[in-house]
Amino acid sequence: MSVNEKYEAWLRCPAMTEELLHELQSMDAESMNDSFYRDLAFGTGGLRGVLGAGTNRMNVFTVMKATRGLGAWLLEHNENPSCAISCDSRIHSRDFAELTAAVLADMGIAVWLYPRLQPTPMLSFAVRHLSASAGVMITASHNPAKFNGYKVYGADGCQITLEDANQIQAHINRQEDLYAEIPSFSHYLSSGAVRYITDETIEAYYRSVWNLRVFPCSEPLHVVYSPLNGAGNDPVREILRRMGNIRIDIVAEQEQPDGNFPTCPYPNPEIREAMNLAIEKTLLTGADLCFATDPDCDRMGAGVRTGNEVKLISGNDMGILMLDYLCRHTEKRGNLPPVVVKTIVTTEMAAALCNKYGLELRNVLTGFKYIGEQIGRLEDEGQKERFLFGFEESYGYLSGTDVRDKDAVNAALLLCDMAADLKSQGRTLLDRLSELQDEFGLFVQRLLTYEYEGESGAIRMGAIMKNLRSPLDSFDNPSLRIASRTDYLHDETGLPKSDVISFVLSDDDRFIIRPSGTEPKLKAYLFTRASSVSEAEQKLDRLQTLVDQLCR
């Protein structure tokens, strides 16, 4: 069907909601084309897109279509399939979660749904705890308010594999775009086809996180916390309450769930703007540190007060601090070394730390699902207890195996235990980080993002990635002509094929470029090692100038 034919069909649909109908009626030619020129793609991250009317948007009809495809796949592979569902605080998240539950129930699939918003890691945990066949998390993670998404988990609690995603996509392609009637959630809830997840599962999750403590410390610690108007408020505060030594001040403006994210347009704890209110409160109250979790509470960012300022800690450095803490306080079990897993775009300082402590380090592709997959492999080999820690530069951490995705509740507990331990010695996280940098060297990174909106943007992204695969001697920059390049899509790397390209310019300098899996962006990761902060900044600036020329 053409764009105009799709548009007219949506206008005539008897089940069209008033909100979507109003948007359809106000579309101009450009917005109509962008809303209908393609279907929202389904991948290992599920669906993610801008809220609105059209096949290239997140709405009740694209959610229904995806859910019917997921349901058909579950029925094909399971005799008595079941699915656990959760959602964050985003606009229409609860609506989409209840719709997903109703559609699956309509197909004869047993459904468990959290009665209120709960974080992504609690969905992963529920899938495993309830022995569900799959899980769905309605979230767009840390994206701006105009986005929402639909993440699918397998029975192992991990995000689905590429093979599973392709099979589900094939089933989605067979579904209708529009339906004359929307299934009733209340009907299937009252009939028992949809059941609420009980407090037993929630308490089991809290116990699981609690059991990950390796060195409890009773030193009083004063923290400022912001859930960034997301799903972390209750679980994070509950787990810290149980510690008994944590004084928590909450950023009031960001305490309650609000999918509009009125105080930070980009609710991402990786960026300072999202942390500003927490920083202000930390300075006002004299707290030891502050931290924030993103809307679905799988990422955590933190900063430490030093006098009259707060210094934020990068995802790479926080991961190193947590790994160091676990190494110093965890006894080795068995004859085989503990396993640490990180992504290829995460700091190489982890290799130095693993060498010191005799750990096995595994590098995987970008995406925490690959870290979860490594836990699953250890479990299949009867060696699950070997897993020590997994982390990625984008503020995701995990030190347990009951959850198979990054977990900011786990990270908050680890952060506070670690900070309290150091405080009892008269030191801070920044002091320990400085000691590690003195020991192993200054490893620094910089993340660059390049946005390409709409259909023309997608074409531009493809052209850039194609150009990066040109013969090395065709590049104008002499550094690129002598670089070592790894193409993770075409070279044999031992990892799944992925549209990622790495350039190693020297022993200390390299960069990696890849398309975002969820947004119309290219991401570039710059890495260097230096003897001082000023030298590191100069080297990163030179790398950025080079990458800017390639990606703009």
- Positions marked active-site: 141
**What is the DSSP code string of 263-308?**
T-SS--TTSHHHHHHHHHHHHHHT-SEEEEE-TTS--EEEEEEETT
Strands (E), 318-421: 339-343, 360-364, 387-392, 396-398
Q: How far apart are the first and last CA of the chain?
A: 34
Token pair listed for 84: 């656990």
Q: What is the per-residue DSSP string for 4-48?
A: HHHHHHHHH-TT--HHHHHHHHT--HHHHHHHHSSPPP-BTTBEE
Instruction: Please report, for residues 264, 292, 328, 474, the alpha-carbon distance to residue 237 in angstroms, rounded to integers and kept in the order given.
Output: 21, 12, 27, 55
Structure tokens at 397: 């951490």
CB < 8 Å & 24+ apart, contacts of 538-542:
539/508, 539/509, 540/444, 540/446
Q: Tell the burial category of 33 from Cβ atoms under 10 Å away from its Cβ (0-12, 13-18, 19+).
A: middle
CB 82 within 8 A of CB 197: no
Q: Are 511 and 547 in contact (CB under 8 A)?
A: yes
